Amino acid sequence: KLEGLKTIAVTTNGINLTRLLPRLKEAGLNAINISLDTLVPAKFEFIVRRKGTNLSSKATVLILAGMCLLYLQVNCVVMRGFNEDEVLDFVDFTKDLPLDVRFIEYMPFDG
């Protein structure tokens, strides 16, 4: 409700998003960035360090894209030896969905 505020966005891995989405929309949410670095369930569980979450982000992307109620962007950090072989799979997965995909270069930080 702040004057001049045009966008309220959240970046998430999608694990709790479907549960929180109604309240977030009530608060004015109109854009979502979903971090989805892999489409492989075991790799996704490794990244989020939680068992049983293997379909959360992919399903969330499909649900939100189907709703077309919010601006939706998928962020994928491309990591050599981990998911660089999935880039074309991401393109295929998202090519017909109403969203933007952003491939982000992995930047390791030591220390």
pLDDT at 76: 92
Q: Is residue 37 scored above 80 in pLDDT?
A: yes
User: For 75-95, what is each residue's pLDDT tens digit?
Assistant: 999 999 999 999 999 899 888
Percent of the chain with pLDDT over 70: 84
For residue 71, give Cα distances in angstroms to 9, 68, 78, 86, 91.
Answer: 9, 8, 22, 24, 18
- pLDDT of 1 > 80? The answer is no
Task: State the average pLDDT for the chain.
Answer: 82
- pLDDT, residue 59, reads 66
pLDDT, position 104? 92
- CA 41, 47, 53, 55 torsion-angle sign: negative
Which range, of 4-8, 63-67, 97-101, 102-106, averages the lowest pLDDT? 63-67
Listed residue (19, 82, 14) closest to 54, CA to CA = 14
Residue 53, pLDDT > 70, answer: no
* pLDDT attached to residue 103: 94
